[in-house]
Amino acid sequence: MREQDYTLHQGQQVEQQEISKVLRNTYSLLALTLAFSGVMAFIAQQMRVGYPNIFVVLIGFYGLFFLTSKLRNSAWGLVSTFALTGFMGFILGPILNRYLGMAGGAEVVSSAFAMTALVFGGLSAYVLITRKDMSFLSGFITAGFFVLLGAVVASFFFQISGLQLAISAGFVLFSSVCILFQTSAIIQGGERNYIMATISLYVSIYNLFVSLLQLFGIMGRDD
């Protein structure tokens, strides 16, 4: 019995060490990719690059995402990770220029940035401190994805008052839930690959920031 207890305890220690390693590597890589993305956004701003065609954005994002997924267990996965986050940062530059060109645009951007940092920090800290299992949110995430997708498609065909505001608010909520779910997946041992964990959190942070930009921008115009 004692040998079984010792083996079980030793197994738990090894698992906790593995989880801590994934968590440490994830947040280190996330910090680097966010910084790199910011540099690429600044370069795009200074170059006054126009926002690319939506098909270029979709092909670039999903192509690099699936490439990263395929290479996630090799050193090339890191290269692909920086390629993906750099690409996303570069297309963020024209978005920032659009808002900075608005009256009070600098305040909109700074408010969105501060709120993104606050939300991500708060949600991550909550999960890391409480160690709660957020796997029950998977159903909400799946349903929310299709609801938001339907709303985005509808916005292309129908000019409904307040729809864009609702979509932006919906993406803020959706991204926040994803951060809870993804952080929980790491500390519960459900995600053992730090590259995929980084990409998942990066996309949620990116969507959160862009959605807050849209939300604050719309509210500013209403004023």
> Which pLDDT score, from 0 to 100, does residue 17 have?
79
Query: d(Cα 13, Cα 189) in Å, to the nearest integer?
Result: 13
For the whole prediction, is pTM greater than 0.85? yes
Residue pair 160/154 in contact by the 8 Å Cβ criterion: yes
pLDDT band at 6 (very low <50, low <70, confident <90, very high): very low
Q: What is the mean pLDDT of the chain?
A: 88
The domains of the chain are located at 19-222
pLDDT digits (tens, 9 = 90+) for 125-138: 999 999 999 989 99
pLDDT higher than 80, residue 15: no
Give the rounded percent of residues in the chain with a pLDDT score beyond 70.
91
Distances (CA, A) of 147 to 59, 107, 117, 128, 137: 22, 31, 26, 29, 15
> Which pLDDT score, from 0 to 100, does residue 1 have?
54
pLDDT digits (tens, 9 = 90+) for 79-90: 999 999 999 999
pLDDT digits (tens, 9 = 90+) for 162-216: 788 888 899 999 999 999 999 999 998 778 899 999 999 999 999 999 999 999 8
